[in-house]
Amino acid sequence: MPLKNRIVMAPMTRTRNSEGDIPNALMATYYGQRASAGLIVAEATDVSPSSKGYALTPGIYADVQRQGWRLVTDEVHRNKGTIFLQIWHVGRMAHSSLMPNGEAPWGVTEQRAEHSDVFAHDADGKLGYIRAGKPRRLETDEVSALVGTFSLAFAHARQAGFDGVEIHAANGYLFEQFMNSVLNTRTDRYGGARMEDRTRFLLEVVDAAVRELGPGRVGVRLSPFGTFNSLPADPQAEQTLLYLAEQLGRRGVAYMHLVYQLMPSANMESAEFKEHHIDHAVLAKVRAAFPGSIIWCGGFTSREGAQAALDTGLVDLIAFGRPYIANPDLAERLAHGWPLAEADRSTYYTRRGEVGYTDFPAYRADSLAAVAG
Ligand code: PHB
């Protein structure tokens, strides 16, 4: 798919959706304002009610949610943008207070994420960061059934007008829980010593996505060597990454979206990226094995940093997260070397509608208003 530049808007939870996890007109305005990005990856979206590990994230399983997302894609396309939807299942990174009928989170095993938080309800019903709950180990046929659940969500994403989908297989959520050779001690076809078994769930879901949307319209986000969300360090991480690069390439996946590298922290709110960390030798091997595009994300805040990363020749696109909050026209600002605005962290995740969300002007409008005023 041709893109107009190498700038990606990274997926970011912003908690502005309506009750019932339904996207709305305000979100359409927000994404529409950012349509000059080469590619927008819309925020992590629940594949099913059992996938909720953070209150106030949107879904793509119900008809009303699909209709809400249609407002978003129409507005982005009206502004000549390209937009994919990031879809996830959080697996054990959940809590019974968010789960249907208060059931236990879904796990690859019964091993809890002992040092990590989710955004859920405490005993008094108050929202905040609390420890992830103890998961229930999924049966083999439940894992297979979940592939069907993803398939349905991909169909919804297509019907909602998305140009493609991104499968969130990073940051210690369900796909990475399966892939991790230390955590995944299952003995069925989805786990154990063989890499082919530990990646089977992800690759079956990728196959489903390619069936629904076509090759070239599916991306996969990975965080190789990451230990965020209490994942044990994986001695087989590189081997698994290179196997995936080859397998994803064979399936016509459009891009690998690599997040390098979240520092250990209890939750996303306090997470920081190791500044521009990347192992060039490993990345060169990924490059050789994968014919699609590579997106690099994690801590980029300037034109110079992004250009230096592109100049390595190892990646094709740079994703910006936080800078996109206060700079709807980030692509133009980077192109012209215009200064960037700073967002107020207290408005990242609130229910206060447009405040800190859609009320940031474009640089030109801002500076012209200052001249006129
Ligand atoms: C993550 O990728 O770690 C992530 C995504 C969405 C959230 C929180 C964390 O709301």
What confidence tens digit (pLDDT) does each residue in 102-155 have? 999 999 999 999 999 999 999 999 999 999 999 999 999 999 999 999 999 999
Domain range summary for the chain, segments of one domain joined by +:
7-372
Comparing 63-67, 186-190, 192-196, 223-227, which segment has the lowest mean pLDDT? 223-227
CB atoms within 10 A of CB 157: 28
Q: Which CATH architecture has domain 7-372?
A: Alpha-Beta Barrel (3.20)
Residue 169 beta carbon below 6 angstroms from any ligand 1 atom? no
Q: Among 19-28, 171-180, 269-278, which stretch is predicted with the lowest mean pLDDT?
A: 269-278
Provide the token pair at 206: 């990728």
What pTM did the predictor assign?
0.96
Q: Tell me the average pLDDT of the chain.
A: 94
Measured in Å, residue 90 CA sits from the centre of ligand 1 at 9
Alpha helices in the chain (DSSP H): 25-33, 63-78, 140-159, 174-179, 195-198, 200-213, 237-250, 280-289, 303-311, 323-326, 330-336, 363-372
Is 44 a pocket residue for ligand 1 (Cβ < 6 Å)? yes
- Mutating to test ligand 1, I would choose from 47, 93, 171 the residue with most ligand atoms within 8 A of its C-beta, which is 171
**CB of 171 closer than 6 A to ligand 1?**
yes
Q: Does the beta carbon of 57 sit less than 6 angstroms from any atom of ligand 1?
A: yes
Asked if the peptide bond before residue 261 counts as cis, ω within 30 degrees of 0, the response is: yes
Asked if 265 contacts 271 with a C-beta cutoff of 8 angstroms, the reply is: yes
What band does 265 get if pLDDT is binned at 50, 70 and 90?
confident
Q: In angstroms, what CA-CA distances link 259 with 227, 273, 277, 302?
A: 12, 9, 10, 17
Distance between CA atoms of 263 and 113, rounded to whole angstroms?
16
pLDDT in tens, 69-80: 999 999 999 999
Pairing of strands 117-121, 127-131: antiparallel
The span from the CA of 253 to the CA of 289, in Å, is 12
**CA nearest ligand 1 atom 1, residue:** 171
Q: Ligand 1 atom 10: the closest Cα is on which residue? A: 13
Counting residues of the chain whose pLDDT is more than 90, the rounded percentage is: 88
310 has pLDDT over 70: yes
The Cα–Cα gap between 120 and 101 comes to: 15
pLDDT at residue 273 in the model? 65
What is the set of active-site residues? 173
